[in-house]
Amino acid sequence: MIRWILSLLCALFVLGWTVPVLAQEVQIPSYTEQQLQKGEEIAKKAFEATEKGNFAQAEAYWTQLIRDFPTNPAVWSNRGNTRVSQNKLDEAIADFNKAIELAPNAPDPYLNRGAALEGKGQYEAAIADYNKVLEIDPNDAMAYNNRGNAKGGLGRWEEALIDYQKAANLAANFAFARANAALAIYQVGKKDEALREIRNLVRKYPMFPDMRAALTAVLWEKGQQGEAESNWVAAVGMDNRYQDINWVKTTRRWPPQMVAALDKFLNLK
Q: Using only C-alpha atoms, what is the Rg of the chain?
A: 21
Q: What percent of the chain has pLDDT over 90?
A: 86
**Cα–Cα nearest to 182, from 257, 105, 260:** 257
Q: What is the reported pLDDT for 95? A: 98
Domain spans, the chain: 1-104, 198-269
As a residue count, the chain comes to 269
- pLDDT tens string 214-231: 999 999 999 999 999 999
d(CA 94, CA 76): 9
| Residue pLDDT, tens place only, 43-74 | 999 999 999 999 999 999 999 999 999 999 99
Q: How far apart are CA 79 and CA 58, in angstroms?
A: 8
Q: What's the chain's average pLDDT?
A: 91
Angle of CA points 49, 240, 247, to nearest 5°: 85
- Please, are residues 186 and 199 in contact by the beta-carbon 8 Å criterion? no
pTM exceeding 0.85: yes
Determine whether domain 1-104 maps to CATH 1.10.1040.10.
no
Residue 10 — very low, low, confident or very high, per pLDDT cuts 50/70/90?
Answer: very low
SS3 87: coil
pLDDT of residue 2: 72
The answer on pLDDT for 15 being more than 70 is: no
Beta bridge partners of 20: 25
Residue 4 is predicted with a pLDDT of 65
